[in-house]
């Protein structure tokens, strides 16, 4: 399926909307001001002035109105890691990222997704940017639409499994490496026979350490793999993966909060100790262990608070 994006002025946009008015459909996605569907093409207009054409007739319909826009330049970054091609932000890339590693309550979630060059503008229009600039509520709002347009995989390591393998000597670095490798592998399977130009992992370990963690895995993805810190600024695929991982984490936190009977705080600070203490007193130590990363210092802090005289 072809995808084309054009950019219109405020004066030009109404003419396009009038032209497709008889084919108008409802589409409740962030930033969308108009959507239409003709026999072979979907048309979506955005508040930013961009119009996306998708389908067999995308080239034809886009040519009616203007020039296809070029991909935005890579954001400036002080990222460290592999040297990326100059045009990296416009290439077809699988990106992966994780969240939850620094939180006492809740799981670790890892996501990978593939954004082809022809879908970069669409993903941006759906609201993707550095997830650190987005609120949790906004990420939850756009996640559904993102999942509809890009091949993706989201893995959740619940607390029971996390505590089990951590007690066997697995470091967080190894846990993350295995999950990233598995998520990327699943996206590659979804894409077949297509392949990405590159794979970009938001770097949490040096390359040699990452692959050392994977030495016992049956399948190890190495071809075209790049590592960089601040990778969500370097390609929308990583920014999208970051959003999907975060939303999966938030969903799990909501479920665990319902079980605990209290809203579970994120992070590992003093507020976390206080809530963990409350849970200990009401539901006991086994329950607390079932929703936390037990090896964190918060466990002992909560015990001292709960049982101090």
Residues 223 and 116 in one domain: yes
Residues 105 and 152 in one domain: yes
pLDDT digits (tens, 9 = 90+) for 29-50: 767 899 999 988 999 988 888 8
Residue 72 in domain: no
Residue 200 in domain: yes
The parent domain of residue 92 ranges over 88-255
Among the three residues 255, 270, 294, which one is the final residue of a domain in this structure?
Answer: 255
Residue 79 in domain: no
Among the three residues 232, 255, 278, which one is the final residue of a domain in this structure?
Answer: 255
Residue 78 in domain: no
CATH of the domain at 218: 3.30.420.10
Residues 245 and 266 in one domain: no
Residue 170 in domain: yes
Which residues, other chains included, contact 53 with Cβ-Cβ below 8 Å and sequence gap of 6+?
A: 2, 3, 4, 5, 6, 41, 42, 43, 59, 61, 62
Mean pLDDT (whole number) for 113-141: 86
- Provide the strand spans (E) within 72-197: 93-99, 108-115, 152-157
In angstroms, how far is the first alpha carbon of the chain from the final one?
68
> From edge to edge, which strands make up the β-sheet containing 50-55?
3-7, 50-55, 41-46, 32-38, 24-25
| Residues facing residue 51 across a β-bridge | 6, 45
- Judge if the upstream peptide bond of residue 67 is cis by omega within 30 degrees of 0: no
Residues 239 and 265 in one domain: no
- Cβ 246 vs Cβ 136: under 8 Å: yes
Residues 283 and 199 in one domain: no
CATH of the domain at 39: 3.30.310.10
Structural domains of the chain, count: 3
Residues 246 and 269 in one domain: no
Residue 83 in domain: no
Residues 45 and 176 in one domain: no
pTM attached to this predicted model = 0.76
Rounded percentage of the chain residues whose pLDDT exceeds 70: 93
Residue 7 in domain: yes
Residues 159 and 235 in one domain: yes
pLDDT digits (tens, 9 = 90+) for 216-260: 999 999 999 999 999 998 999 999 999 999 999 999 999 999 999
Residues 120 and 42 in one domain: no
Is the pLDDT at 69 greater than 60, yes or no? no
Residues 92 and 237 in one domain: yes
Residue whose C-alpha is closest to residue 94's, from 129, 119, 77:
119
Environment class of residue 260 by beta-carbon count within 10 Å: exposed (0-12), middle (13-18) or buried (19+)?
buried
| Residues facing residue 153 across a β-bridge | 112
| pLDDT at 214 (0 to 100) | 97
Residue 82 in domain: no
pLDDT band at 67 (very low <50, low <70, confident <90, very high): low
- Provide the strand spans (E) within the chain: 3-7, 24-25, 32-38, 41-46, 50-55, 93-99, 108-115, 152-157, 198-202, 225-228
Which residues, other chains included, contact 279 with Cβ-Cβ below 8 Å and sequence gap of 6+?
A: 260, 262, 287, 288, 291, 302
Q: Are strands 198-202 and 93-99 parallel, antiparallel or unpaired?
A: parallel
pLDDT band at 75 (very low <50, low <70, confident <90, very high): very low
Environment class of residue 169 by beta-carbon count within 10 Å: exposed (0-12), middle (13-18) or buried (19+)?
exposed
Residues 212 and 271 in one domain: no
Residues 42 and 132 in one domain: no
């Amino acid at each position: 399926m072809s995808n084309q994006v054009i950019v219109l002025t405020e004066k030009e946009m109404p003419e396009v909307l009038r032209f497709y008015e008889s084919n108008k459909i409802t589409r409740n996605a962030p930033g969308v001001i108009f959507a239409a569907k003709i026999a072979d093409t979907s048309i979506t207009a955005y508040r930013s002035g961009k119009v996306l054409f998708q389908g067999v007739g995308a080239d034809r319909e886009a040519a009616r109105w203007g020039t296809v826009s070029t991909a935005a330049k890579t954001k400036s970054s002080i990222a460290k890691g592999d040297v990326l091609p100059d045009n990296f932000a416009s290439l077809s890339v699988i990106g992966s990222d994780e969240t939850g590693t620094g939180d006492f309550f809740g799981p670790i979630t890892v996501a990978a997704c593939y954004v082809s060059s022809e879908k970069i503008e669409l993903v941006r229009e759906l609201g993707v940017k550095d997830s650190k600039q987005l609120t949790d509520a906004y990420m939850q709002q756009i996640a559904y639409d993102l999942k509809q347009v890009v091949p993706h995989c989201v893995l959740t390591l619940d607390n029971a499994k996390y505590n089990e393998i951590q007690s066997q000597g697995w470091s967080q670095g190894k846990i993350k490496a295995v999950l990233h490798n598995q998520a990327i592998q699943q996206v590659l399977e979804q894409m077949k026979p297509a392949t990405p130009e590159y794979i970009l992992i938001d770097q949490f370990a040096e390359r040699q350490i990452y692959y050392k963690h994977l030495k016992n895995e049956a399948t190890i993805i190495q071809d075209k793999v790049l590592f960089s810190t601040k990778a969500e600024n370097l390609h929308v695929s990583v920014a999208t993966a970051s959003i999907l991982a975060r939303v999966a984490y938030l969903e799990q936190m909501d479920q665990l909060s319902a079980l605990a009977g209290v809203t579970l705080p994120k992070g590992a600070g003093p507020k976390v100790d206080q809530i963990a203490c409350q849970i200990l007193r009401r539901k006991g130590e086994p329950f607390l262990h079932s929703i936390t990363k037990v090896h964190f210092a918060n466990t002992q802090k909560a015990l001292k608070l709960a049982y101090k005289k």
